[in-house]
Amino acid sequence: KINERCEITELENEKGNYLLSYNIRGLLEKITDKDTGEVVERYEYHNSQFPVRIINYKDPKDERIVYPSGSAQFLDSELVSKREDITFMVKQSCAYTADGNADKCSLIASTNDDYRDSSLVWISNHKNEYF
C-alpha cells in the first residue's frame, strides 16, 4: 500500500508481510513484520537524510555500520568535471556529527548522470577525521 505522501506503508513479498514506518522528514525508519509485530530493521539517520546504521534487531549484538552508495535523492554536493569529449559526474552524501561536521560519506562518480547506465562507475565510502 502507498499513502498520500507516496510512501510505501505495507509490503508483501515471498519473504513475508511488512509494515514500513517513516520519521517526520519522510525517511524510512522502521520495518516491522506484519504477522508477528517484531521490528525487523531500524534505520538511523543522525543529522542527515542518509542512513548511517541499519540494525538487525533480531540480533542484539548487531553492530554493523552501513555506508550506502551515493544517491541523487540525498545529495549533499554534486560536481561536474569536463575534459575534451568526456564528462564526469561526482555526487556525495554524508552523515553529520552534532557539531555540523561531515562524518561518514559516500561518494559516487560516473560518466553518466544516471550512474546505473554508465559504463564506468566508481564508488567510495569514507569517514572524515578532524585534527
Q: Give the domain range for residue 82.
A: 72-127
16 within a domain of the structure (yes/no): no
pTM confidence score: 0.43
| Residue 15, domain member (yes or no) | no
Residue 89 inside a domain? The answer is yes
- Taking only the tens place, the pLDDT of each residue in 2-57 is 888 888 999 999 989 999 998 877 888 889 999 999 888 877 665 555 555 555 65
Domain presence at residue 67: no
**3-class secondary structure, 52:** coil
Domain count, the chain: 1
Ranges of beta strands (E only) in the chain are: 10-13, 16-22, 28-33, 39-44, 53-56, 77-83, 86-96, 102-110, 121-127
Residue 112 falls inside a structural domain: yes
CA 72/CA 107 separation, integer angstroms:
11
